[in-house]
Chains A and B, each alone.
Chain A
Amino acid sequence: MTPYQQIWTIARLELGRVFFSKRSFWVYILAIFPSIIFLGHALEANLKKRNWGGDRVTAAELLDKVQSGMTDEQVLALAGKPVSDTTRKRRVRRNDEDPEAEKQPEVRRYVMYFDGKRRVDLRFEDGKLVSRNARELMNFEDDRRVYATMFQFFYLRLGIFFGCLGIFINLFRGEMLDRSLHFWFLAPVKREVLLLGKYLAGLIAAAFIFGTGALLSFLSMVLPHDPNEVATYWQTIGPEHAFWYVAAAALGCVGYGSVFLAAGLLLRNPILPAIVMLIWESINGFLPDVMQKLSVLHYLQSLCPVPVPLPNDMPAVLKMLLAPAAPSSVPVAVLGLLAVTALVLFAAMQSVKRLEINYGTE
């Protein structure tokens, strides 16, 4: 049996455990959660269209005439009966020493119209229109931006991070805690081969779960939109976007997987490096360019096809401090990530050769 065959045999034996372990159940939830939410969003938009349709629809031209400073009575007279209308009075607070509080409006009124495609939210303060916000119930471009944000901030930063933490730490540290690692060490295989076999099993499982999850959520974001828009998208940049989202998810598993596998081997409590890494990856955007390139997230973000806009409600100071490094080119990102992975796996191999079975200390 060659080492390659042994690696594959070990991976095959481990795959079942990684895929079907009860403890991995939450990883599946993580992976498919965005798809469920996007499908829910499409369903909700359709339901709203149906509920707000018919005689509750207000002509778009009328709603476009609504201007800031108009009174609520004027707006209602112009646009007719809204879909929803709520009024709130200012609460008297127990201990309001703030002089600014005196300037707060007494009454706020929230009115919402629907023009068949867009919902228009109007906010009145003491009878005057102070804010008008119109948005389509289903806007493809918006949704693609939301998907890009979700992918980078939830999927890569949290979902794949914690999913890989769960899967890859189990491979060695979990077996130590289960007191079953000796079973593998008593097999006629080199420790390095065992490590690669286990890593391969974790990688196949994680990449499959999160790659499929990324693809499913992407499809559930794209498909409910207008068929013409979707067709155009698929004929142009759609397949490329889909490919790079799946590739980034899979490469995320390659990078994070190696780090957590090594952490599970090198340290008795891999939670501390996990916390450090989570903080490191989170503050990444605030670091100098060179430092940013020392994170898995930087390379993964470089692969993402749609850049993420900074949130509107982000404090100005933070916006000022945030200076994302220029994204690396695709070959550099992929090779950089693979190089980091190879380095981490090499360190893990050195460690596994020295690893001793000493369950009593776990």
Chain B
Amino acid sequence: MAVYRRGYQRYDGALTSHFARLMVMPRFSWERILSRRFVVILLVVSLFWPLLCAGFIYLSNHSELWQGFGGGIKKFLAINGNFFSIFMNVQSTFALILASVAGPDLVAPDLANNALPLYFSRPLTRWDYILSRMIVLLGILSLVTIVPGLLLFGMQASIAGGDWFANNWFLGTGIFIGFTLYIAMVSLVAMASSAYVKWRVVAGALVLAFFFLLAGAAEMVNSIFRVDWASALNPTYAINAVWKGLLDVEIPEDKPGAWECATVILGLSGGLLALLARKLRAVEVVK
């Protein structure tokens, strides 16, 4: 009888679920990221704008406070898609800075320290790894995007009443879907940057460069070709256009619309995923 048949007994007890195993990595990562002082400061600072917006909502719903002012103030204080679009726009800047600080920390050290074989020798696929890293960023970034966004929406709905909610429920779903899309895009950029350069610090710069440079390049194409369609190549504009589509805010006719921009974002995300799949390998062969 082979020795292993006598001595080796395979574990046949209960196993945790796939999702529970997947969440192991995010749990540790969240703890590590939130222990960084700069991240906490950034999180706190990024809540100022939602607080201002909350004040704005309160003001908007108390007409007695601005009765003496002209009619223009009513339009200015209206809580509609435009209001939430501006809120999302500002808040996404904080999310971007947060992603450029926290994002590269997730993948680059694993690559630089050859830790991938360690992960992939567990029952985890490459896609599990990517997903778990995205969950980390989803958790962190949603603290400054989805959570305050939905809180503001809930606040407005509770003050303005059921009618407002019945007419504007799509703003809530718009905030949720819009921010989720944004977080997915930013996470992919952060991970792809760090997988590409493998250095945490440079990857952070690359995340910022990605957004700034594409915005600059899109503007350059627009001005050289005297067109407007290239704005869709600017990820910030593209995601804004998608948000406007979701929040039912009008986009100037000569600019690319929500669907065109959504297609560009999808294509971009596909490219970033392909880059990640190419770079995230357990073994790097050096010729």
Residue ranges of A at the interface with B (Cβ–Cβ < 8 Å): 23, 26, 30, 33-34, 37-38, 40-41, 44, 88, 91, 93-95, 97-98, 100, 108, 135, 143, 146, 149-150, 153-154, 157-159, 162, 165-166, 169-170, 173-174, 177-178, 268-272, 274-275, 278
Contacts and interface: CB of A to CB of B under 8 A. Distances in A.
Given A165-B205, A166-B202, A278-B208, A94 B170 contact: yes
Contact of B253 (A88, A149, A150, A272): A88
Contacts of A95: 80-81, 167-168, 248
B248 A93 contact: yes
B224 interface: yes
B212 A108 contact: no
Contacts of A91: 250
28 contacts: A30-B213, A37-B224, A40-B225, A91-B250, A95-B80, A135-B226, A146-B224, A149-B223, A150-B220, A150-B223, A153-B219, A158-B209, A158-B216, A159-B213, A162-B209, A165-B205, A166-B206, A170-B202, A173-B199, A177-B202, A178-B199, A268-B201, A269-B201, A270-B205, A271-B208, A272-B38, A275-B97, A278-B208
A162 B212 contact: yes
A-side interface mostly: helix
A275 B98 CA distance: 12
A149 B197 CA distance: 31
B146 to A, nearest CB: 22
Given A41-B225, A93-B248, A146-B223, A33 B217 contact: yes
A170 B198 CA distance: 12
Nearest to B112: A177
Contact of B202 (A41, A44, A146, A174): A174
Interface residues of B, number: 38
Contacts of A271: 100-101, 201, 204-205, 208
A34 B216 CA distance: 11
B200 interface: yes
Interface in B187-237: 196-202, 204-206, 208-209, 212-213, 216-217, 219-221, 223-226
B5 interface: no
Given A41-B224, A135-B226, A278-B208, A162 B202 contact: no
Given A162-B212, A275-B97, A23 B197 contact: yes
Interface of B: 38, 75, 78, 80-81, 97, 100-101, 112, 167-168, 170, 196-202, 204-206, 208-209, 212-213, 216-217, 219-221, 223-226, 248, 250, 253
B190 to A, nearest CB: 12
B76 to A, nearest CB: 12
Contacts of B219: 153-154
A166 B209 CA distance: 10
Contacts of B201: 169, 173, 177, 268-271
Nearest to B217: A33
Contacts of B202: 23, 166, 169-170, 173-174, 177
Given A159-B216, A169-B202, 13 more contacts: A37-B220, A95-B81, A98-B75, A98-B78, A143-B224, A150-B223, A158-B209, A158-B216, A173-B199, A269-B204, A270-B205, A271-B100, A278-B208
Contacts of B209: 158, 162, 165-166
For the complex of A and B, 3 pairs with smallest distance between CB atoms: A271-B204, A162-B209, A158-B216
A278 B196 CA distance: 23
A275 B208 contact: yes
Nearest to B225: A41
A95 B223 CA distance: 34
Which of A37, A108, A135 is most buried by chain B, counting CB atoms within 10 A of its CB?
A: A37
B212 A158 contact: yes
Contacts of B200: 177
Contacts of B253: 88, 108
Contacts of A98: 75, 78
A138 B81 CA distance: 41
A300 to B, nearest CB: 16
A95 B216 CA distance: 34
Contacts of B226: 135
Contact of B213 (A158, A169, A269, A275): A158
A97 B212 contact: no
Nearest to A163: B209
Nearest to A139: B226
A97 B213 contact: no
Given A154-B217, A271-B201, A97 B250 contact: no
A176 to B, nearest CB: 9
B43 to A, nearest CB: 16
Contact of A154 (B196, B197, B205, B220): B220
A91 B251 CA distance: 11
A33 B214 CA distance: 11
